[in-house]
Structure 1
Amino acid sequence: MTAKTSETSLRTPLCDLLGCDVPILLAGMGGVSRWELAAAVANAGGYGTLGMVREDPSLIAAEVSAMQAATDRSFAVNLIPAATEPGLLDAQIACCLDLGVSAFSFFWDVMPDVVARVKHAGCLVLHQVGTLEAARMAEDAGVDVIIAQGIEAGGHVHGRSPAFGLAAQILAETDLPVVVSGGFTTGEGLADALAIGASGVQCGTAFLATDESFAHPYHKSRIVEAKGEDTVLTDVFVLNWPAGAAVRVIANSVTNTLDGVYLGHDPNTLPREVIAQDGDRPRLRFSTDSPLRTTTGDLEAMALYAGRGAGAIHDIPPAAARLAEITAQARQALHEVEQSKSGQ
């Protein structure tokens, strides 16, 4: 990379809003995006997000406190209001506010009363959506940043549109910063996102396969081995989530038995069979739980989340190295575009 290339700016107004150096957001992967990973991304110049979906407030308190001790950078806590029991959600938000959390990242259905609560407390709100209608609802609710999630994304997928197509639709209707999410594992994807007017990208798979990720080493190794076409979108991993909630996972022994019928599974007809453990917590076949560092049992049969960008992941480096690689690639891609425009 030449000196001129290294000077190519990736900074967007989103960086000023969020307090990061480059517009690369860590996805709030439940179970995986713990303080070690979020702090590593934040300290390297990206934006860290703690994935605290349906976690007990005691764990949230421990994770937020550890995060605050590990970095002086801004970060968000990711919750999913529509998929969380109201009493637990209330306790989660209260815990975060008591600890001085200044930003929340929400996902799935927009709940205006929840957005209003944390906005009233002076917090920033990022909301990931899968449709143009949801983006409109999020803006009406008062969010500060819209994250446009495409069907290429790993983990829970709310919509069915390609990431760039959805982002373009949203950008045409809003002046809010729009972040694109869905299979972004290289800097070329970031450059392309900036080229259409987006403010940045959100990455999950790219950071799941890093040293600091709380994912099980088995899960990380499967991502390194996988190609994008090895992933499938299915709602068979649905226990403990609403019916019809689809996820993108690496194909495994569970999805291979579906004969290509990946969607339309009724959770009420799925057996409750324990296949793994996290301490004293059982993990069921067909649940949305992915294997973590602490998981033992039949890891292969669990939900192995990965986006369609998995084919570009070939190693398991520190998160800072992954961020630096994506940043360098993006700068190179933008530099080449600038050269072509100038005729050099």
Structure 2
Amino acid sequence: MTKTDPLKTEFCSLVGCDYPIIQAGMGGVARWELAAAVSAAGAFGCLGMVRESADRIRSEIRAVRQRTDRPFGVNLIPAATPPQLFAQELAACIDENVEHIVYFWDVVPAAIDAAKRGGCKVLYQVGSVEDAVEAEAAGADVIIAQGVEGGGHVHGHVTSLTLLPQVINAVKIPVIASGGFADGASLIAAIALGSAGVHCGTVFVASEESFAHQIHKERIIQARETETVHTDAFAINWPPQSPVRVLANKTTQCLNDRLWGYSDQSFPHDAIAEEEGRPVYRFSTDSPLRSMTGELDQLALFAGQVTGQVNEIRPAAMIVDQMIRHARQRLKQLGFDDVWREE
């Protein structure tokens, strides 16, 4: 009887990676260093190219390919990007023969169609069953189901372990679990629920290759799971009422750490940092990056509740390796060590 490896899921077969771990395409943070390191380690790296120029996207794609020939994706946000810029971003990806596009936020069928016509597979991150069904109907190849405990922008209202099985039951394409996943045990839990893998952000923000500023990384590894807040205090640059999960800081505390229905126009454009001459506003969706200076600890410190499990800054390859080793150890503990043969 042929033995099968439970960690070689249908997602691995679809995109060509070794392990069913997707590194989230975090805007600003996920640049070529991180995406290339994750993909080279056998997982699925992703460039976070939200509202970036076509030239920057081409440069980042080429930098990844100079360092690895393994599969990766490019994350774009059609609902939060001016239409002309989005068209230029996607055109750059297609021109560079990108095979995988990762979308997020509101489902935009025309964006799925454009990517598919360009020869790309589409992964769509959603926060509800309804959006998952709509994305599949529009031609998406993979659904990423994000729970409310996830870091960064959060589009749903229930936990990942509640959302995940409902999405799996509602669609026929592979579903990836997002929100609260950072180790091998949680990977096994997701697979046990029927997921084809996990989508991880917070643990990779704190990686050595992440373009996040050291201030952001250190806050993540110091924080407990109780120190994140779900708020729309960081609204500049995104559609109205777009909540995020961040680590609490002076900015969130002055607004009582709650949802108010804010929008871009609700806040003063108060510049508290700068990036190569560009002002960075207190209430913007910019997180602290290596290239920024100023009051960085008051910007959006994106992090999920899983931050309590992230206790050190590690190379991305080590993160992937330890997740897989931990997953195999947990399978062995559960008595499933004889159902696969490692190559």
Output the TM-score relative to the length of structure 2. 0.95
Cα distance change, pair 80–298 in 1 and its aligned pair in 2 (3 A) = same
- In structure 2, what residue type is equivalent to 1:295? M
Structure 1, residues 64-123: CA drift from partner, whole Å, max 9, x if none? 110111110111100000100000001111111111111100000111111111111221
- Cα distance in 2 for residues equivalent to 1:262 and 1:157: 12
Is 1:318–2:311 an aligned residue pair? no
Partner of 1:98: 95
Cα distance change, pair 158–287 in 1 and its aligned pair in 2 (3 A) = same
SS of equivalent to 1:258: coil
| Contact kept in structure 2, 1:255 and 1:262, CA below 8 Å | no
SS of equivalent to 1:49: strand
**Correspondent of 1:249 among 246, 250, 266:** 246
- Cα distance in 2 for residues equivalent to 1:341 and 1:91: 50
| Contact kept in structure 2, 1:187 and 1:328, CA below 8 Å | yes
| Contact kept in structure 2, 1:8 and 1:334, CA below 8 Å | no
- Cα distance in 2 for residues equivalent to 1:166 and 1:151: 9
Report deviation, 1:260: 4.2
User: Which deviates more, 329-338 or 120-129?
Assistant: 329-338
Output the TM-score relative to the length of structure 1. 0.95
Structure 1, residues 243-285: CA drift from partner, whole Å, max 9, x if none? 1000000000011112343443344231111000010111001
Is 1:74–2:37 an aligned residue pair? no
- Cα distance in 1 for residues equivalent to 2:62 and 2:70: 13
- Cα distance in 2 for residues equivalent to 1:215 and 1:189: 24
Cα distance change, pair 340–19 in 1 and its aligned pair in 2 (3 A) = closer
- Cα distance in 2 for residues equivalent to 1:266 and 1:174: 33
In the alignment, structure 1 segments of 5+ residues that lack a partner are 1-6
- Cα distance in 2 for residues equivalent to 1:230 and 1:53: 26
SS of equivalent to 2:199: strand
Structure 1, residues 205-230: CA drift from partner, whole Å, max 9, x if none? 11110110000011000000011110
| Contact kept in structure 2, 1:41 and 1:320, CA below 8 Å | yes
| Contact kept in structure 1, 2:248 and 2:257, CA below 8 Å | no
- Cα distance in 2 for residues equivalent to 1:92 and 1:180: 26
Partner of 1:116: 113
- The equivalences for 1:1-344 within 5 A come to 9-338=6-335
- Cα distance in 2 for residues equivalent to 1:114 and 1:257: 38
| Contact kept in structure 1, 2:212 and 2:290, CA below 8 Å | yes
SS of equivalent to 1:125: strand
Q: Work out the number of aligned pairs and report it.
A: 336
Report deviation, 1:11: 1.1
SS of equivalent to 1:259: coil
In the alignment, structure 2 segments of 5+ residues that lack a partner are none
SS of equivalent to 1:221: helix
| Contact kept in structure 2, 1:8 and 1:335, CA below 8 Å | no
User: Which deviates more, 284-293 or 330-339?
Assistant: 330-339
Report deviation, 1:9: 4.4
| Contact kept in structure 1, 2:236 and 2:263, CA below 8 Å | no
SS of equivalent to 1:11: coil
User: Which deviates more, 14-23 or 324-333?
Assistant: 324-333
Identity percentage over the alignment?
48
- In structure 1, what residue type is equivalent to 2:248? A
| Contact kept in structure 2, 1:238 and 1:244, CA below 8 Å | yes
